[in-house]
Amino acid sequence: MSSLPNPAPTVTSSSQAFWNATAEGRFTLQRCTSCDVVVWFPRKHCPDCWTETLSVFDASGKGTVYSFTIIRKVANDYKGATPFVVAYVELEEGPRVMTNIVDCDPESVTVGMPVEMVFHDTGEGNALYRFRPSAN
């Protein structure tokens, strides 16, 4: 549970800037300059109002667990890491993002628990954003 693999993500021209920032320990979000909504996942338009001008800002890295599962058995890169937690974390800024919860006993994870972001280097110029329990 302590050592999850760090597979490199599929990076596209639309997500390149996002993933580049993770190498510096930053999780960036886009905000629509027209309707002000926070956009997730990164793209070149706002899926709420279809404006094509978005601004970028650094997220706080804080959130709460929206839902989670403990994966007991798997046949991919994570085979040796079971049991581990996959979750949706609701960021302070709003979006619910898929991720792992780390640095804790999987059995201790609960819906609603406060978490904070950590970065795990993939060795390919970016890092995976994961979350660990936080005080509040």
Q: Closest CB to other proteins among 39 and 115?
A: 39
Q: Are 83 and 100 in contact (CB under 8 A)?
A: no
CB within 8 Å of 84: residues ≥ 6 apart: 1, 4, 70, 71, 78, 100, 106
Q: Closest CB to other proteins among 7 and 125?
A: 7
Q: Closest CB to other proteins among 37 and 104?
A: 37
How far is CA 38 from each of CA 11, 23, 74, 123, 134, rounded to the nearest angstrom?
Answer: 21, 22, 33, 29, 24
Q: Are 68 and 131 in contact (CB under 8 A)?
A: no
Q: How far apart are CA 22 and CA 99, in angstroms?
A: 14
Q: How far apart are CB 118 and other proteins at their closest, in Å?
A: 14
Q: How far apart are CB 6 and other proteins at their closest, in Å?
A: 8
Q: How far apart are CB 37 and other proteins at their closest, in Å?
A: 7
Q: Closest CB to other proteins among 72 and 135?
A: 72
Q: How far apart are CB 58 and other proteins at their closest, in Å?
A: 16
Binding site for other proteins (CB under 8 A): 4-5, 7-12, 14-15, 19, 37-41, 43, 47-48, 66-78, 81, 84, 86-88, 94-100, 111-112, 128
